[in-house]
Chain A
Amino acid sequence: MRSVVHSTGEESAGPALRPSFGAAVADRLTEEGGRLLSRALVAKSVAEVLFVAALFAAFSYAHFHPRFRGAVDVADARMVEGWAVDEAEPGRQVEVQLFIDGQFVAQRRAELHRPDVLAAGRASSAGHGFRFETPPLAAREAEYEARVYALHAAGGGERRTLNQIGKALRFRVSQNDDPGRAAVTNGAGCGEELGRR
């Protein structure tokens, strides 16, 4: 191993030409030292990439709980129903929220009797069903989209995330569906209709 002290390119200028700066940093990095430093830098970079990957995997697991299971079985002008279970705690009844066309409608606990969920071995009890009454919606040609989310508290309650249960279901509301429930189109926006609960 050979130790060489070489210039950083500034000694030639010297203090006489650069009176406002002191002596240059002496660079004593040897060939072997350079090799070791390269390895250390690469190792640190790899360790940091793995750390950031682990950090975000842990973050995603904690905040976007992947153990919710369930389905939305029915969605129409009268109701939206299905079931939801947290496989990490099959005995716990989870809170679910209904959104129609991206607008929040209601929140409730999935606690209705669903013997089929118990029979399928999805939960340790049958009380994991939910049913929402569909709010009055304006009759229209285009479909409405219903999504149900399980609510998950993370970070010691600091953050709450919504995890979709099953698939989004689409349904139509026509004048004939239920005159008492299907709102007459009167130019009011969908959001305003959803707001009336």
Chain B
Amino acid sequence: MSVAVRGREAAESTAATIGGAHAEERARASQSRSLAAFEIVSIAASALVAEWAVIAAVGFRPAWHAVPVGLAFALMIYSHRLRGETVREIGWNVSQFWPALRLLTIPMLAGSLLLALAGWLWLGATFRLGDSRAGWAVLGFPVWGLSWGLLQQYVLQGFVNRRAQIVFGRGWPSVLLTAATFALLHLPNPWLTAATFAGGLLWAWVYQRAPNLFALALSHAAMTWVLVSALPDSALRGLRVGFKYFT
């Protein structure tokens, strides 16, 4: 066998190895995307079970709610570990706080103006920071507003958005999927569903540019405060979602 023939065979063998490695990697990427989609569905299903099935069957009982919520959190934490995601990457950092807040400021001001106008023009409500719900929100803002906002933003951005990016890559498809998932979990409350879809678009877009959960939680709490101040409770129905909306 000549040296030329041996060289050609070696080159073909290397190409086959590289081709095989690429095919293997493509298969793994495809499996990872399918799993990421399954993860989003699984987390949304847990939230829907808590909002609809548990509330319908036993009302608000923390012990019963703890089952789907606990399963969801266990899966999210396990998934972060398996996918090698660091706490910092997920958005629990300070370095992206100001960039995220800068991105949020103008859309938040515009959103607040729109909400105040919508409340005034369509629902005849005046913007009142001093009424009972808004007053309560002022008092509860640092504790309830921020903690609840942080929790929701972690699930929505730190998990759903990141998995949506694995499925579709970064960009509008994953932003839309994140916002749609967020809105789905606020059905059947029409005003809240619309507001969370709009808010979800903004927060998912900001997260993809500057992933910081603290800035998003601050924005979430502030916009909730604006929402309950701008729209009457007859429209928001006490921010009830799921089966509780009908009670």
Contact of A37 with B by CB under 8 A: yes
Residues of B within 8 A of A155 (CB): 58-59
- A74-109 to B contact mask, C-beta < 8 Å, 1/0: 000000000000000000000000000000000000
Question: In this assembly, does B71 line the interface, its C-beta being within 8 Å of a C-beta of chain A?
Answer: yes
Whether A21 and B170, one on each chain, are in contact in the complex, defined by CB atoms closer than 8 angstroms, is yes
A59–B166 CB distance below 8 A: no
Given the known inter-chain contacts A10-B171, A41-B75, A51-B68, please indicate yes or no for A34 contacting B58, CB distance below 8 A: no
Please state if B25 and A44 are interface contacts (CB–CB under 8 Å): no
Q: Is the CB of A22 within 8 A of B210?
A: yes
Q: Report whether B57 and A59 are in contact in the complex, using a CB–CB cutoff of 8 Å.
A: yes
Interface size on B, residues (CB 8 A): 43
Residue of A nearest to B206 (CB): A22
Report which of B29, B67, B205 forms a contact with A6, defined as CB distance below 8 A: B29
A27 pairs with B45, CB closer than 8 A: no
**Interface set, chain B 74-97, CB cutoff 8 A to A:** 74-75, 78-79, 82-85, 89
A48 contact set on B, CB distance < 8 A: 45-46, 49, 68, 71
Q: Are A55 and B78 in contact (CB under 8 A)?
A: no
How long is the Cα–Cα vector from A168 to B170 in the complex, in angstroms? 63
Residues 8-36 of B contacting A (Cβ, < 8 Å)? 25, 28-29, 31-33, 35
Q: Which of B25, B75, B166 contacts A4 (CB 8 A)?
A: B25
What are the residues of chain B within 8 A of A3 when measuring CB–CB?
Answer: 84
Query: Is B165 in contact with A25, judged by CB distance below 8 angstroms?
Result: yes
B17–chain A nearest beta-carbon distance, Å:
15
> Could you mark each residue 12-50 of chain A with 1 if its beta carbon is under 8 Å from any beta carbon of chain B, else 0?
010000101111111111110110111011001101100
Contact of B209 among A4, A21, A41, A158 (CB under 8 A): A21
Complex Cα–Cα for A63 and B101 (A): 50
What A residues does B209 contact at CB under 8 A?
20-22
Q: Does A186 contact B (CB under 8 A)?
A: no
The reply to whether B165 and A34 contact each other, CB–CB distance below 8 Å, is no
A161 within 8 A of B: no
19 extra A-B contacts, CB within 8 A, seeds A21-B209, A29-B32, A37-B39: A3-B84, A6-B29, A6-B32, A10-B169, A22-B170, A23-B170, A25-B166, A27-B29, A28-B84, A29-B84, A30-B82, A33-B83, A34-B32, A37-B83, A44-B46, A48-B71, A51-B49, A56-B57, A59-B58
List chain A positions with a Cβ less than 8 A from chain B: 3-4, 6-10, 13, 18, 20-31, 33-34, 36-38, 40-41, 44-45, 47-48, 51-52, 55-56, 58-59, 155, 158
Which B residues fall within an 8 A CB radius of A? 25, 28-29, 31-33, 35, 38-39, 42, 45-46, 49, 53-54, 57-59, 64, 67-68, 71, 74-75, 78-79, 82-85, 89, 162, 165-166, 168-171, 205, 208-211
